[in-house]
């Protein structure tokens, strides 16, 4: 999204109008940003590297994808740890929401296309605030690892 607005300034003898342009990143997690390709998911788990911030693990690989965004993300919660689908779906919803709010940490620093999967590897369900803190730690660790 691009926002254009005018700024009126007074110079010495005439009025000048400046046109400023700011690029604002939308805080959404649309269809293009979600990882759905089975071939990319297979490549991710076969060739990918990982970063952990318990109870979250991020598996990533630098590869081309069809999206216009710099990254595609998927979330997973294992059935082994959470038997009820209601619990798994709630955790996946929390993971997507915390990622959506903090994805600018990744988008502002990466310049190559990445594909990654965020997995919940804990046995107990955490609150939204705790998951938010862990997600921030995970994404900063990811950025630090790809910078090296």
Over residues 122-144, the pLDDT tens digits come to 999 999 999 999 999 999 999 99
For residues 63-81, average pLDDT? 94
Which has the closest alpha carbon to 102: 138, 58, 56? 138
Does the residue 79 lie in any domain?
Answer: yes
Does the residue 12 lie in any domain?
Answer: no
pLDDT digits (tens, 9 = 90+) for 30-50: 899 999 999 999 999 999 999
Q: How far apart are the first and last CA of the chain?
A: 31
The whole-model pTM stands at: 0.80
CATH classification of the domain holding 143: 3.30.230.10
Does the residue 123 lie in any domain?
Answer: yes
Does the residue 21 lie in any domain?
Answer: no
Looking at the DSSP assignment, which residues form a beta bridge with residue 23? 2
Tokens 């007074």 belong to which residue?
10
Does the residue 34 lie in any domain?
Answer: yes
**Domain that residue 48 falls in:** 27-147
The count of domains in the chain is 1
């Amino acid at each position: 999204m691009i926002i254009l607005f005018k700024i009126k300034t007074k110079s010495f003898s005439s009025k000048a109008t400046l046109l400023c342009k700011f690029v604002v990143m939308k805080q959404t997690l649309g269809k293009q940003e979600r990882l759905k390709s089975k071939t990319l998911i297979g490549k991710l788990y076969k060739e990918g590297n990982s970063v952990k911030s318990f109870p979250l693990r991020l598996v990533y690989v630098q590869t081309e994808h069809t999206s216009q965004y710099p990254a595609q993300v998927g979330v997973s919660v294992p059935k082994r740890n959470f038997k009820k689908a209601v619990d798994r779906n709630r955790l996946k919803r929390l993971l997507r929401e915390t990622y959506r709010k903090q994805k600018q940490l990744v988008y502002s620093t990466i310049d190559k296309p990445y594909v990654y999967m965020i997995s919940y590897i804990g046995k107990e369900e955490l609150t939204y605030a705790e998951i938010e803190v862990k997600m921030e730690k995970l994404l900063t660790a990811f950025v630090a690892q790809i910078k090296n």
